[in-house]
């Protein structure tokens, strides 16, 4: 820890206390205020955690002003162009890029855990045909706790590693089963000779009545989209996984909590909301009216896929997805896709508007991803499920880092109480 400190002086008591500064590798240093309450009797107040570091982490770094995203120090554009989702998952979970032998061993382990207990099929039988796939994913991921709860020792690294591999391996199988439930089609089992993305596509789209051929374009695009969603510092769903995991709960239950948090339209649900928004806007002629709605404080409408708590520049993932979007649609013969045209027009107008420029609101990861998913034949309500699949190695890596942190304690925020002052009970006949 550096010798630098920040002094807080309480003008009421006149007491001054020096708090140590901790330096990181990149980004702002942090003031360690763990002893603030004990020294000065105050809590800090930071709803939304805009200025609060909840942990130290070696996993991912974002420079919001420069639009930089690093996974274990490697720039996201290099990984998106040159790596694979399972290699990136290994990197996030283990801290280093694997050797060829390590990668083959990891891929083999994940492949061998893709099956789920056959009784999980019964869970899907309980859902109505129009159940939202995120509701099904959240429920069934949490139900994995019921199968392994007596085998998990979260204090044993090997037990944690097995849990991690099971979660990463089974998410696509569960996600595809939710997709088949919606379609009313039979579930498709994973195949060990296929890639992670190829298996997912086949489990989603294959039918017993005909052969299914995996599109290399779709397989590559899906693998890249999973890479781009793999981790993102202490976002809402990752913070949820950490907080849930800090109680010592079953890791499958903590991941289910992450799924629940991700579903929100302000977070991972935004990719679905973007396509719904584009449908609502309809044509480029209507864009100015919707831009005005987004700027109107009395109108709850926001430009979905725009803005970010950390990025005050173009989300680097959006830059890559925008490029992939054009490539995929061109290769699929859909380059004149009206939704893409509309999205590009919306982006062009918004980025010239003072309201968005002043607030540094740029397209984020969710703005273009849905257009690719739709081009691959994936329905809008399924987009967030794919976000959850991508984010799974990040959740696992962050959960593992939290559990292994010697400073780790149960997360238990305090509050500023603004309710009624202490008062005595009044019997009902006297009220
Ligand atoms: C993800 O945290 C992560 O890392 C998340 C994520 C990940 O990988 O995990 O990157 C994934 O969640 C991306 C974000 C997806 N959400 C959306 O696209 C929904 C639309 N975006 C907004 O809801 C909003 O921008 C947030 C939620 C993303 C960020 O909200 P903040 O940081 O709380 O920002 P804010 O609400 O304080 O907005 C600041 C100003 C406000 O105006 P003023 O009060 O200053 O006048 O900008 C305005 C907001 O009204 N604003 C928008 C806007 N986003 C912010 N106005 C119109 N449209 C928008 N999209």
- Ligand 1 atom 22 nearest Cα: 307
Pocket of ligand 1 (CB under 6 A): 232, 235, 266-268, 270, 294, 302-310, 359, 361, 364-366
pLDDT for residue 60: 98
CA 27/CA 91 separation, integer angstroms: 21
SS3 279: helix
CA of 61 to the centre of ligand 1 (A): 19
**Residue 132 among the catalytic residues:** no
SS3 7: strand
CA of 361 to the centre of ligand 1 (A): 8
- From the centroid of its chain, how far is CA 400? 16
Q: Choosing from 165, 229, 232, 308, which is the catalytic residue?
A: 308
Tens digit of each residue's pLDDT (9 = 90 or more) over 421-430: 999 999 999 9
pLDDT for residue 172: 98
pLDDT beyond 60 at 180: yes
pLDDT for residue 1: 54
Mutate to test the pocket of ligand 1, among 50, 51, 307 (most ligand atoms within 8 A of CB): 307
Kindly report the CA angle at 298 between 293 and 300, in degrees rounded to 5?
A: 65
Q: How confident is the model at residue 2 (pLDDT cuts 50, 70, 90)?
A: low
CA of 311 to the centre of ligand 1 (A): 10
Tens digit of each residue's pLDDT (9 = 90 or more) over 209-244: 999 999 999 999 999 999 999 999 999 999 999 999
pLDDT beyond 90 at 335: no
pLDDT for residue 408: 87
CA of 286 to the centre of ligand 1 (A): 22
Q: Tell me, letter by letter, the H, E, C secondary structure of 335-363.
A: CCCHHHHHHHHHHHHHCCCHHHHHCCCCE
pLDDT for residue 407: 87
pLDDT beyond 70 at 159: yes
Mutate to test the pocket of ligand 1, among 47, 308, 351 (most ligand atoms within 8 A of CB): 308
Q: How confident is the model at residue 149 (pLDDT cuts 50, 70, 90)?
A: confident
Note the residue count of the chain: 431
- Ligand 1 atom 40 nearest Cα: 359
pLDDT beyond 90 at 337: no
CA of 175 to the centre of ligand 1 (A): 27
If you average pLDDT over every residue of the chain, what do you get? 95
Q: Choosing from 231, 315, 337, 366, which is the catalytic residue?
A: 366
pLDDT for residue 424: 97
pLDDT beyond 90 at 336: no
User: What strands, in cross-sheet order, belong to the sheet with 5-9?
Assistant: 5-9, 16-22, 30-31
pLDDT for residue 21: 97
Is the model's pTM score more than 0.85? Answer: yes
- Ligand 1 atom 15 nearest Cα: 267
Mean pLDDT for 9-26 is 96
What is the atom index within ligand 1 of the atom nearest the CA of 306?
60
CA of 422 to the centre of ligand 1 (A): 38
**Residue 308 among the catalytic residues:** yes
Token pair of 48, please? 């939304």
């Amino acid at each position: 820890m550096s010798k630098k400190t920040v002094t807080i002086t309480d003008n009421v008591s006149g007491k001054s206390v020096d708090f140590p500064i901790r330096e990181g590798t990149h980004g702002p240093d942090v003031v360690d205020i763990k002893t603030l309450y004990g020294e000065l009797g105050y809590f800090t107040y930071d709803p939304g955690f805009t200025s609060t570091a909840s942990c130290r982490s070696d996993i991912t770094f974002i420079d919001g002003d420069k639009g930089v995203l690093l996974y274990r120090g490697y720039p996201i554009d290099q990984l998106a162009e040159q790596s694979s989702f399972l290699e990136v998952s290994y990197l996030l979970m283990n801290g280093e890029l694997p050797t060829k032998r390590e990668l083959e061993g990891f891929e083999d382990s994940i492949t061998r855990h893709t099956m789920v207990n056959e009784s999980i099929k019964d869970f899907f039988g309980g859902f109505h045909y129009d159940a939202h796939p995120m509701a099904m994913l959240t429920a069934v991921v949490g139900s994995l706790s019921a199968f392994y709860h007596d085998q998990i020792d979260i204090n044993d690294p090997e037990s944690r590693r097995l849990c991690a591999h099971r979660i990463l391996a089974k998410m696509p199988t569960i996600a595809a089963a939710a997709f088949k439930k919606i379609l009313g089609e039979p579930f498709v089992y994973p195949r060990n000779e296929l890639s992670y993305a190829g298996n997912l596509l086949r489990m989603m789209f294959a039918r017993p009545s005909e052969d299914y051929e995996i599109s290399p374009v779709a397989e590559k695009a899906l693998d890249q989209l999973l890479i781009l969603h793999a981790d993102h510092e202490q976002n809402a769903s990752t913070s949820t996984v950490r907080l849930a995991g800090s109680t010592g709960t079953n890791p499958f239950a903590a991941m289910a909590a992450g799924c629940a948090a991700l579903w929100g339209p302000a977070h991972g649900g935004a990719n679905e909301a973007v396509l719904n928004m584009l449908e609502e806007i309809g044509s480029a002629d209507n864009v100015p009216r919707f831009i005005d709605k987004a700027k109107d404080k009395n109108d709850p409408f926001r430009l979905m896929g725009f803005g970010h708590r950390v990025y005050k520049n173009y989300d680097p993932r959006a830059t890559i997805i925008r490029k992939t979007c054009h490539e995929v649609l061109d290769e699929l013969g859909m380059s004149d896709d009206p939704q893409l045209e509309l999205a590009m027009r919306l982006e062009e107008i918004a980025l010239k508007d003072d309201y968005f420029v002043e607030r540094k609101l740029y397209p984020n990861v969710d703005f273009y991803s849905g257009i690719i998913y739709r081009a691959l034949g994936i329905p809008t309500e399924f987009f967030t499920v794919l976000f959850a699949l991508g984010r799974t190695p990040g959740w696992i890596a962050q959960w593992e880092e939290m559990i292994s942190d010697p400073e780790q304690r149960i997360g238990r925020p305090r509050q500023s109480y603004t309710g009624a002052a202490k008062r005595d009970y009044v019997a009902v006949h006297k009220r």
